[in-house]
Structure 1
Amino acid sequence: MIDSDGTHPTWDADRRAYVTRFDGTGRPPSVAVAVAVAAVLDESPRPLFDYVDPDALDDLFVDSAESTTITVDVDGAVVTVRGDGRVFVRPP
């Protein structure tokens, strides 16, 4: 489940993950990931660029196929970004 505006992560019990969205224009993947990780992890995580290059992440999903997927570990949380605009954060 994704909240009404898609900007705040919401819990999806079926996937056992928090879910949010990006749209590639107004809200790029790097922003969606950073906001979701900060909301999900209890402590303040290191900057996103310590885990993945935010510009490369955004470039990867510009006009990407829906099947494009990357997964990265952020302080024990498993973050998956999909080409269909969804971001999943599985807490540690």
Structure 2
Amino acid sequence: MTEGRVNESNGCGFGRRIQYERRADEPPSIATALALAQYYGDDVTAASTQLYDYIDPEALDSLFAETNRGGSRATGTVEFEIEDAVVAVRHDRIEVRPSG
């Protein structure tokens, strides 16, 4: 399993923010699952929150895939809510923060 760099802020518990810096060769869906597991304190292979219950992982990956001309999509954000958290996916990082 690939691992990006995780930064935590705002103390511990569910009030914290997670910022996961995605490697260029790592699919956004995998990076998002890893960031969510870190946020909820779960093992990613046994995570209680399943990404596909909230967003289509293949569609998420395709939004950040290379263009037909070989360039990357370096702009744009996909944001959605999962349970009590907001997930923001960008081309280079995933951020998870408490909702509300």
> So what's the TM-score if we normalise by structure 1?
0.74
Counterpart of 2:32, as a letter, is: V
**Partner residue of 2:69?**
none
Q: Which residue of 69, 72, 81 maps to 1:73?
A: 81
Residue 76 of structure 1 and its aligned partner are, at CA, apart by 1.2
- 1:58, distance to aligned residue in structure 2 (A): 0.5
Matched pairs, number: 84
Residue 46 of structure 1 deviates from its aligned partner by 2.6
Superimposed CA distance per residue, residues 35-72 of structure 1 (whole angstroms, 9 cap, x where no aligned partner): 11011114643311000000000010013532211101
Moved over 6 A (4+): none
Does 2:98 match 1:91? yes
- Partner SS, residue 87 of structure 2: strand
Question: Shift in Å at residue 82 of structure 1?
Answer: 1.1
Larger Rg: 2
Asked if 1:29 is matched to 2:28, the reply is yes
Structure 1 equivalent of residue 54 of structure 2: 51
C-alpha separation in 2, matches of 1:24 and 1:7: 10
Q: CA deviation at 1:7?
A: 1.6
Gaps of 5+ in 2: 11-15, 67-71
Structure 1: 5+ residue stretches without partners: 1-5
TM-score normalized with structure 2 length: 0.69
